[in-house]
Structure 1
Amino acid sequence: MIRATLALVIGLLAVQPALAQNRAGVERQFQSWLQRTVWPAARAEGVSRATFDRAFDGVTLNWDLPDLVPPGSRPTTPKTQVQTEFGAPALYFSPGTVTAATRTGRQMASRHAAALARAERTTGVPGRIVLGIWGRESGYGQAPIRHDVFQVLGTKGFMSTRAPYFTKELIAALRIAETGPLPPRAMKSSWAGALGQPQFMPTNVLAYARDGDGDGRADIWGSPADTIASIATYLQQHGWQPGRDWGFEVRVPPAVSCTLEGPDQGRPLGRWQEMGIARVSGRPFPAIEAGRQLFLLMPAGRHGPAFLVTPNFYVLKDYNMSDLYALFVGHVGDRIQYGSGDFATPWARTDSLFRSDIAAMQRALERQGHDVGGADGLPGFRTRRSIGRWQEATGRPATCFPEASMKRSLAR
């Protein structure tokens, strides 16, 4: 036993210099890539050599970022991964998080009323929706944003599973540094390279950042008015329909299948009402929705609240491709403006599952001919309704949400 332990220690000590030497070699390749690949592409986009040099002054690879694929290695997929998006939707709506976002959002609504009203007049996007996104993305500008965008995007552009995408974003970040409101070293981002208070990727900064305070700059790092105008512009240009809400919490009778969920299964409001679906509040739907298509949303299947949503809900999903994200934004916005409370239907407890468990279920459903939207381990609407259809076809009550027992049943 002692000999085995000593051998392990000696082996580890021998490996460390090799790892360090290998990383040093990769660092040299990174610096060469910057000069031979990134600089010519940046120069072609109008970036000066001075800006390029300032952006990468002292920048080395960040080996702590996820999804890295160093030269000569193969991508790996974690075997165990737990995320609230599929493990427990209720965690996304924890009372503390929702209450804090609402309380601060009301303060911001008062403090920045003029900027919010101006953005709504210009874009048609309600201020409460802008506040919901602003709060979720950066805590209304109060959350620290610490990463160096050029280190993040440089690392991920050089050696990640989505290298071409991040290289494009890196060039966009250099274009922002060339003409933007901040010097390169002050352009802080998230670990994924998202910039400023709206958490825009650099290409979105170039497309949607706006000057909301009239100083001639679009400063999404330091200006709340610019942040508000930029978020509103993003939503407007992604198709926000003025005058319509994002959606309404409803009760879905047991006879109505949860497999009817999805943006590709819309029905006129009257059809849903004929099926017995009604608002939980008992109030009528707004007159503007008469005859228009609405879509069933059941983010936890039968284990949580249900909604009829408008196309505006899917505009919110363009900001972040998550049903729970879009629902959080709409819900917090409603609480800020209307003082509404929690959803009428509570989130039920769901089984805790690894992402690999979900992916295995998805692959099994695909083998049976179901369209699950890809075996990515995330239970989007296609996966949820495929589960429901499988449950109905096998004589089970349709819940339209992954459960631990399905791992064994689907494997048969």
Structure 2
Amino acid sequence: MRLFAAALVIAFAAPAHAETLPEAQRPKVEAQFQSWLASTVRPAALKAGVGAKTFDAAFSGVALDWSLPDLAPPGAPPPRVQRQPEFSDPARYVAEPNFSGLIPEGRKRLSENARVLAEVERRYGVPAEIVVAIWARESRYGGAPVRNDALRALATLSFMGARRQQFLPELIAALKILDGDHLTREEMRSSWAGAMGQPQFLPSKFLENAVDMDGDGKRDIWRSTPDVLGSIGRYLQLHGWIAGRPWGVEIDLPAGVSCAFEGPDQGKTVAEWVTLGVKPKPGGALPKDPGRRVFLLMPAGRAGPAFLVSENFYVIKKYNESDLYALFVGHLADRYGAGRPIAGRWTAPKGFDREDVAAMQRRLEALGHNVGSADGLVGFRTRVAIGRWQQSKGLPPTCFPDATLVKTAGR
């Protein structure tokens, strides 16, 4: 699970490295780090129930990891703000080539792990295909390298990361894992931001959701495939997964139906959507219960495909707070079976950047529109706000910015 996923961007690579102190000045910071471990982290860990022996062994010989991005060491200038110069086209995230390599391998993993996946579904109600699709998206079925020492990374980011206050609780949680889960520090590998193992759980999420599916006494999300799959299933169950309910279906949305109906707070019954002329794309089907509420999803507004999604789509979003992430997972799960490629065309405009979007969001906020956050990312609340502003001006709603709209919306 990605750290602080509300700030998710479409780019896959880690941010560029921040400016740090010259080598000659680092020993002083290392000494400050050791003092901070003793004066701040050790008391907090002991108060949280971590044993003194565990703490002392964990930090024996630990130094700062100066290779991490987003560092703000004492005495150094703040790290450069990482910005995408161009807004990322949503189509890039769910382009068909992104699925081509994952589908055959996923079918193989479904077959190889059929027994444990059946048990995961029995316990947690989550279909095997959804569990395996998250596994694919997070670590390519465990094949992606997880290189960092989780404790060292979290300690570094807690001490001198640009968002240090958000990392300290995760550092304490990592120490609790060491103290109670029969794992060694060497086994606890993570991303640069502390997301651990094949499911990419932050330490706090590990404590809440990881399970010992293979019964060996460890919750090993690094090497045990049963533990990985069971932990993903439990996470989704604990966050509200409804057994037997598909995530969603691609639809044809008539031109007369506003894209500003999008979002989890504007659901309509299946019967109401049908009355509006909504139909599934070939190969898909709407839920059979006409009274069930489902929700419109349009990740690129009128510049991309439309979907009707269930509550389970929003459960997937709790794993990673991104419409595109949840769409990727749901669609990949379908493709393991007889699901077809996304049929709708993506024509999202270009020619603007995130600063343009953020300025537009601030103008819309000033008019009373809820954009979610003026962060330069076009989430569903921003899309709805754009559509409602367009309707207020007598314009056909597109619910997605273009090079002109980012300059005029909200004025």
Does the pair score TM above 0.5? yes
Q: Equivalent residue of 2:251, what SS?
A: strand
Between the aligned partners of 1:372 and 1:293, the Cα distance in structure 2 is 24
User: 2:152 aligned with 1:125, yes or no?
Assistant: no
Cα 1:60–1:273 change in 2 (3 A) is same
Instruction: Map 1:53-132 to 2 at 5 A.
Output: 53-71=56-74, 78=81, 80-82=83-85, 87-132=88-133
Instruction: Map 1:11-410 to 2 at 5 A.
Output: 19-71=22-74, 78=81, 80-82=83-85, 87-281=88-282, 284-287=285-288, 289-336=289-336, 338-410=337-409
Per-residue Cα deviation, 1:41-92 (whole angstroms, up to 9, x for no partner): 1122332333223322333223443443334677566374257xx5111111
Q: Do the aligned residues in 1 keep the contact of 2:20 with 2:72 (CA within 8 Å)?
A: no
Structure (1 or 2) with the larger CA radius of gyration? 1
* Paired letter, 1:114: R
Between the aligned partners of 2:20 and 2:305, the Cα distance in structure 1 is 55
Shift of 1:31: 1.5
Figure out how many residues of one structure are paired with residues of the other and give that number.
393
What's 2:7 paired with? Answer: none
Q: Equivalent residue of 1:24, what SS?
A: helix
Cα 1:349–1:131 change in 2 (3 A) is same
Between the aligned partners of 1:362 and 1:59, the Cα distance in structure 2 is 43
Q: Do the aligned residues in 1 keep the contact of 2:389 with 2:409 (CA within 8 Å)?
A: no
Shift of 1:387: 1.2
Q: Do the aligned residues in 2 keep the contact of 1:87 with 1:353 (CA within 8 Å)?
A: no
Shift of 1:202: 0.5
Between the aligned partners of 2:68 and 2:355, the Cα distance in structure 1 is 21
Between the aligned partners of 1:181 and 1:359, the Cα distance in structure 2 is 46
Between the aligned partners of 2:251 and 2:367, the Cα distance in structure 1 is 32
Cα 1:75–1:321 change in 2 (3 A) is farther
Per-residue Cα deviation, 1:348-374 (whole angstroms, up to 9, x for no partner): 243154322221111121122211011
Between the aligned partners of 2:201 and 2:298, the Cα distance in structure 1 is 28
Between the aligned partners of 1:239 and 1:117, the Cα distance in structure 2 is 19
What's 1:4 paired with? Answer: none
Cα 1:304–1:407 change in 2 (3 A) is closer
* Paired letter, 2:49: G
Mean CA deviation greater in 218-227 or 351-360: 351-360
Q: Equivalent residue of 1:295, what SS?
A: strand
Cα 1:247–1:74 change in 2 (3 A) is farther
* Paired letter, 1:409: T
Cα 1:369–1:239 change in 2 (3 A) is same
Between the aligned partners of 1:125 and 1:252, the Cα distance in structure 2 is 29
Cα 1:17–1:208 change in 2 (3 A) is closer
Superposition RMSD in Å: 2.2
Q: TM-score scaled by structure 2?
A: 0.90
Cα 1:60–1:403 change in 2 (3 A) is farther
Cα 1:411–1:64 change in 2 (3 A) is farther
Mean CA deviation greater in 225-234 or 213-222: 213-222
* Paired letter, 1:354: D
Q: Equivalent residue of 1:185, what SS?
A: coil
* Paired letter, 1:52: F
Q: Do the aligned residues in 1 keep the contact of 2:139 with 2:199 (CA within 8 Å)?
A: yes
* Paired letter, 1:147: N
Between the aligned partners of 2:48 and 2:407, the Cα distance in structure 1 is 54
Per-residue Cα deviation, 1:1-21 (whole angstroms, up to 9, x for no partner): xxxxxxxxxxxxxxx998445
Mean CA deviation greater in 209-218 or 327-336: 209-218
What's 1:11 paired with? Answer: none
* Paired letter, 2:305: P
Q: Equivalent residue of 2:295, what SS?
A: strand
* Paired letter, 1:53: D
Q: Do the aligned residues in 2 keep the contact of 1:137 with 1:197 (CA within 8 Å)?
A: yes
Cα 1:352–1:334 change in 2 (3 A) is farther
Shift of 1:396: 3.3
Between the aligned partners of 1:77 and 1:311, the Cα distance in structure 2 is 38
Q: Equivalent residue of 2:286, what SS?
A: coil
Gaps of 5+ in 1: 1-15
Q: Do the aligned residues in 1 keep the contact of 2:183 with 2:218 (CA within 8 Å)?
A: no
Q: TM-score scaled by structure 1?
A: 0.89
Q: Do the aligned residues in 2 keep the contact of 1:87 with 1:350 (CA within 8 Å)?
A: no
Between the aligned partners of 2:89 and 2:351, the Cα distance in structure 1 is 7
Per-residue Cα deviation, 1:225-267 (whole angstroms, up to 9, x for no partner): 1111100000001000011011111111110011110111111
Cα 1:119–1:98 change in 2 (3 A) is same
Cα 1:94–1:59 change in 2 (3 A) is farther
Cα 1:82–1:95 change in 2 (3 A) is farther
Cα 1:63–1:391 change in 2 (3 A) is farther
